[in-house]
Amino acid sequence: SFFRLFEYLSFRAILSVLTALGLSLWMGPIMIKRLQMLQIGQVVRNEGPESHFSKRGTPTMGGIMI
């Protein structure tokens, strides 16, 4: 039967990784929009490289999803 697959640890591990990946891909854009709406981000320092100024407004707490 199909349900005997759940007895294998490797099958359950793969299933949990795929579930976590699916949830992060589904909830990721929602969290990024919410963080931008709440203006949660890192302050760009003036003495840094000019290329960092283009990143102004990018949320930096996206790692919470992972």
Q: Is residue 65 part of a domain?
A: no
Residue (of 40, 62, 44) closest to 53 by Cα position:
44
Q: How far is the C-alpha of 61 from the C-alpha of 39, rounded, in Å? A: 11
Q: Is residue 13 part of a domain?
A: yes
State which residues form the domain around 34.
Answer: 2-58
Name residue, tokens 């969290």.
31
Q: Model confidence over 7-64: pLDDT tens digits?
A: 999 999 999 999 999 998 898 888 888 887 887 777 767 777 777 677 676 666 656 6
- Return the pLDDT at 47: 74
- Return the pLDDT at 39: 77
- Give the chain's radius of gyration (CA, Å): 19
Mean pLDDT throughout 2-9?
93
Question: Do the beta carbons of residue 42 and residue 60 sit within 8 Å?
Answer: yes
pTM of the model: 0.61
Tally of structural domains, the chain: 1
Q: Is residue 63 part of a domain?
A: no
Q: Is residue 25 part of a domain?
A: yes
- Return the pLDDT at 19: 96
